[in-house]
Amino acid sequence: MNRDLEMGDKAAETLAGRIGDAEKRTSGVSNGARPLRPIAEAVDYVYATEAPDNADIQSITPPSFAQSEFQTIVRRQRYGNDPDGLKIGHIPSRSPHLHHAWDFVGWGSLRYVEIKKEDLDAVEENAKEPITYLGQIKASSVAGNGVVGSVFYTFPVIAATAGIFSPLCLVVACLLLLFFRPVMLELAAAVRLNGANYIYLLQFSGKLASIIGAAATLLDAVATSTVSAATASTYLTGEFGHLPVSSGVFTIIFLSALGLLALAGIRESASLSASVFIFHIISMTMLIIAAIVHWAHSDPHSHILRANWDLRPTGALDIVRTLFYGICIAFLGVTGFECTPSYIQNMRPATYSAVLRNLIIIAAILNGTLCLLVYAIIPSQTILSGANVLSVLAEYAAGRWLRVWVVVDAVGVLLGGVLTGVVSAGGLIDRLAQDNVLPQIFLAKLPVTKSAYVATLTSLAISLLLFVASGMSLNTVSSAFSVAFFKLTSYQYCFSNLLLKVNRSRLPREPRVGMLTLFGALVVVCTTWAGNVALNPTSLAVFAVAFIAILACLIILNAQPWMLRVALRLHSASSFARTRLTRLGALLVRAYKRSRSAQVCIWTKTDDIHTMLQALLSVQRNAPDASTVIFVHAYPSIENIPSELHPNTRLLDEAFPTITVDLAFVQGEFSPKLVEATSRTLGIPRSRMCVLSLGRNHRWPLGDYNGMRVIM
């Protein structure tokens, strides 16, 4: 028996030598095709001339490892392999005039990646560079101008609906944000990346859900800037009716000026926002003090407040209905709160928590106090007359000078809201370009300020287009904005948090919100949204038109490979196609190959073939432009490499004819530093880096990887 085993091993060695000679003779085979016939002939020769004489030896002892490997090679290459070297086999093409080769991108390969010294040095230099974060005041002011500025267009609407109950409705609406604060904090702890809910849905769900979220976020941001500019124009022309320029022209001027100002960069924009924010707080404090002094001197017995109170509804059902609709409208007065995750990378974690707290407190105090003073000093008929309520309050309290001061403050803080919307929209467009949803031209930056000027100018153009398409009507734009705000907070923040708990529960994060709080936030936003739609049903139609237009553009830009593939199928099946592709068909093939030139890296720790298969299917669904998938394994030493990783990669490579599946080994510990260095070495952006999962005890949060996706 020992003699037979020695003969078997000798046969395997001879087979290996002959196969090596055959591979040398066929090394010039192109397109990744394997040398089929020479290898098969070598195997046939070895087993015919040097196999053991005893035919029963295989039933007594198992074959050696080398024999098993080469028997598998012979079987796989003799049967079911395509003579052209493709992965399809002998299955005929679905299109009679389109050969399989048009969709074949090559066979996978194995490589050991050596991180270049210059890449490691670049990573080290980036790590040493000090990061300048926005302070609490600047970070609060970017979104705060939208929150505190909303009082100028919310007060007249809520006064017409809730009357004397308006102060209570405004305070309750601000307190309802307490449901959303822990939801947003958990999302930020899991993924600290700019892009708001687009990033959350991309990390916790799939590409389609994230694109839908991006469309809603983009519409909310551009509507914020448009409504703020239109309100500032209306406020200005309402106070100074003799101006030769209409409010619509003023709106276009304000949008253009603030859009160009946003090109100065986020820090410079934040500095301006902070100045406007502080000026507004000072102005409102002056107004509150002046109004309280006037109330105490001119009406110590509160006759005006009592008269306004007497106009309230008397029936219990009427009171409940008034309070409900008042709270629904007042909830719009905290708009801007949802923009904070758009620039979260520019804040420290503790700063972000403080910003959300500050916005709730400031909105509750200012809105509630100012509205109460309005009803304590101004008669109800004057409040409902459509005048600029706060400027009227200023004139009642201190005279004409304070009224002019408040008007200037109103225009300034509303223009700060314009800047908030433009910056948020520009940041989202920049993130979409980084993730290849939009063309790379949107990543172009100015040399001095490093501002993504194409993204910023695009957000400005969308704002102008939305305003012009609405007939330059503030009411029409406000309708679209109100529904966009509710869709953003309901569909995105609540739904994103739910997906985080279901699909990415292992992601390290702190704090964690309970299901009761999440359910309460969802009930709040759905109820208030239903109330606003009931009051203004046309707002849903206005939102739907704008939302579908933006969503269609994003889907079309992201679905180019699929559209070209369908066009090729239709062309091949048409009567114009012949046995060979026509000129149009050749152009379509070249365009299709260009649209599928991206590479995706999947970092894997295990060699489990089921997990690897699910990862490939996820890439196939969410990255239609990817033609190459590289499984990357970080190993501390060669002995720690999983034994089945390479064989399983070869199997998956053959199972996916339209994707090249490569395997790369990188020595080191899986970390943000190694991922960034590998990204530089392979020339693949970090937004194209994926990881199967991160454990609860992983040392680094997902945000430290700056764009890497979790796909399992």
Tokens of 48: 């015919």
Position with higher pLDDT, 691 vs 5 = 691
pLDDT at 46: 37
Same domain? For 648 and 565 the reply is: no
Is 26 a domain residue?
A: yes
Q: What is the CATH number of the domain that holds 158?
A: 1.20.1740.10
Which strands, in side-by-side order, build the sheet including 626-635?
Answer: 110-113, 660-667, 626-635, 598-603, 689-691, 709-710
Distance CA(288)–CA(282), nearest Å, equals 10
Is 319 a domain residue?
A: no
Residues contacting residue 561 through CB under 8 Å, at least 6 positions apart? 592, 595, 596, 624, 625
Same domain? For 54 and 96 the reply is: no
Domain closes at, from 557, 584, 614 = 557
Q: What is the 3-state secondary structure (H, E, C) of 134-191?
A: CCHHHHHHHHHHHHHHCHHHHHHHHHHHHHHHHHHHHHHHHHHHHHHHHHHHHHHHHC
pLDDT surpassing 80 at residue 84? no
Tell me if the bond preceding 511 is cis, omega within 30° of 0.
yes
For residue range 367-389, what is the model confidence (pLDDT) as tens digits?
889 889 999 999 888 888 766 78
pLDDT at 37: 38
Same domain? For 538 and 668 the reply is: no
The region of weakest confidence among 365-374, 528-537, 550-559 is: 528-537
Paired strand residues for 111: 664
Range of the domain at 616: 92-113+596-712
Same domain? For 268 and 197 the reply is: yes
- Identify whether the C-beta of residue 418 lies closer than 8 Å to the C-beta of residue 261: no
* Total domains, the chain: 4
Same domain? For 401 and 259 the reply is: yes
Give the angle subtended at the CA of 139 by the CAs of 235 and 267, to the nearest 5°.
90
pLDDT at 290: 93
- The torsion defined by the Cα of 683, 687, 692 and 695, in degrees rounded to 10, comes to 110
Same domain? For 265 and 355 the reply is: yes
pLDDT surpassing 80 at residue 21? no
Same domain? For 589 and 702 the reply is: no
Is 686 a domain residue?
A: yes
Same domain? For 265 and 176 the reply is: yes
How would residue 90 be classed by pLDDT, with cut points 50, 70 and 90? low
Amino acid at 168: L
- Identify whether the C-beta of residue 217 lies closer than 8 Å to the C-beta of residue 201: no
pLDDT at 130: 57
Residue 356 phi/psi, 5° resolution?
-60, -40
Distance CA(366)–CA(656), nearest Å, equals 60
Same domain? For 669 and 629 the reply is: yes
Residue 582 phi/psi, 5° resolution?
-75, 180
Which run of H or E residues covers position 627? strand 626-635
Which run of H or E residues covers position 662? strand 660-667
Distance CA(93)–CA(84), nearest Å, equals 13
Distance CA(5)–CA(21), nearest Å, equals 24
Region 3-29: mean pLDDT is 43
Position with higher pLDDT, 44 vs 305 = 305
pLDDT surpassing 80 at residue 269? no
Is 315 a domain residue?
A: no
Same domain? For 708 and 570 the reply is: no
Same domain? For 703 and 591 the reply is: no
Same domain? For 372 and 289 the reply is: yes
Is 57 a domain residue?
A: yes
Amino acid at 443: L
Is 387 a domain residue?
A: no
- The torsion defined by the Cα of 250, 251, 253 and 258, in degrees rounded to 10, comes to 130
Distance CA(621)–CA(325), nearest Å, equals 43
- Owner of token pair 């509750």: 364
Is 35 a domain residue?
A: yes
Domain closes at, from 533, 557, 581 = 557
Is 433 a domain residue?
A: no
For residue range 441-476, what is the model confidence (pLDDT) as tens digits?
888 887 776 777 888 888 888 888 888 877 777 767
Domain closes at, from 532, 557, 582 = 557
* Nearest CA among 430, 467, 453, 409 for reference residue 255: 467
Paired strand residues for 110: 663
Residues contacting residue 82 through CB under 8 Å, at least 6 positions apart? 88, 89, 90, 100
Position with higher pLDDT, 529 vs 51 = 529
pLDDT at 10: 46
Neighbours of 92 (CB within 10 A): 8
- Identify whether the C-beta of residue 564 lies closer than 8 Å to the C-beta of residue 595: yes
Alpha-carbon separation of residue 678 from 119, 296, 311, 671 (angstroms): 8, 70, 70, 11
Distance CA(396)–CA(462), nearest Å, equals 40
For residue range 25-73, what is the model confidence (pLDDT) as tens digits?
434 433 333 333 343 343 333 333 344 444 343 444 555 656 555 555 5
Mean of pLDDT over the chain: 77
Classified as helix, coil or strand, 246 is coil
Distance CA(41)–CA(461), nearest Å, equals 67
- Identify whether the C-beta of residue 657 lies closer than 8 Å to the C-beta of residue 86: yes
